[in-house]
Amino acid sequence: MDSPTACAGVIGDVATLREGYPTPSERAVRKTLCRLDHHMRKFISLSPFLCLGTSSDEGADVTPRGDAPGWVHVLDDTTLLIPDWPGNNRLDSLSNIVANPHVGILMFVPGMDETLRVNGEAEITTAPEIVERWTVNGKHPRSVLKVSVREAFFHCAKAVIRSKLWKDDYKIERSEMPPYAEILKEETRVAQTVEEIAAQVADSYANKLY
């Protein structure tokens, strides 16, 4: 008898997976570089936002990171520096990196549909000469991710075009979703009121970005 997984059509090996897709073009294969060229450096200098993928034995995680363009530093052709500005202090990504240094990064530039993918190995540093590269309101990041680039390449625009990410077609009225404080109250069931949570969130956004 076939297993439920087999009946569901789940693909369990790369050979079977590849059978269902066309062979990638030579261009798609050759675009992967093992260093950051001048086009990538320019893109990184313009990017205010990235998604950082990490994993450990407990699973995978993706987190958003962002700041004004220029916040990610290119140390050299194979090294990126990403400051860890204040977040929720769960340390999901950093804990994963301690366990498994392999990371995947997807960088965006508003107004440009292509994205930049960088895969490599990361380490967490608190070396003063590194963290003091960033100063905002007299504050430095608590730590910095030093990413050794294994491969980097520009990703085509199809996903961003389909999603119309930089257009207003799918932009919602904020009222379509409950306020963040209301969502937190319902999901966490903490003793605080929605108003108390909203005040703390507003203070964090106004005064604790750095």
Is residue 185 in a domain?
yes
Task: Based on the fold, state whether residues 38 and 125 are members of the same structural domain.
Answer: yes
Please provide residue 171's backbone torsions phi and psi, each rounded to the nearest 5 degrees: -70, 130
* Residue range 47-101, pLDDT digits in tens: 999 999 999 999 999 999 999 999 999 999 999 999 999 999 999 999 999 999 9
pLDDT, residue 3, reads 52
Task: Based on the fold, state whether residues 41 and 101 are members of the same structural domain.
Answer: yes
Question: Using the 8-state DSSP alphabet, how is residue 33 labeled?
Answer: B
Judged against a pLDDT cut of 70, whether residue 30 lies above it is answered with yes
pLDDT, residue 51, reads 98
The Cα–Cα gap between 11 and 24 comes to 19
Task: Based on the fold, state whether residues 137 and 189 are members of the same structural domain.
Answer: no
pLDDT band at 7 (very low <50, low <70, confident <90, very high): low
Is residue 93 in a domain?
yes
Strands of the chain (E only): list them. Answer: 49-56, 59-66, 73-76, 79-83, 102-109, 112-125, 144-155
pTM, 2 dp:
0.93
Helix (H, G, I), strand (E, B) or coil at 146: strand
Task: Based on the fold, state whether residues 155 and 59 are members of the same structural domain.
Answer: yes
pLDDT, residue 55, reads 98
Task: Based on the fold, state whether residues 56 and 149 are members of the same structural domain.
Answer: yes
Judged against a pLDDT cut of 80, whether residue 165 lies above it is answered with yes
Mean pLDDT of the chain: 96
pLDDT band at 4 (very low <50, low <70, confident <90, very high): low
The Cα–Cα gap between 210 and 204 comes to 10
pLDDT, residue 8, reads 74
DSSP per residue, 90-105? --HHHHHHHH--EEEE
Number of domains into which the chain is organized: 2
Helix (H, G, I), strand (E, B) or coil at 136: strand
pLDDT, residue 9, reads 87
Is residue 16 in a domain?
no
The Cα–Cα gap between 173 and 3 comes to 45
Structural domain including 91 reads 27-166
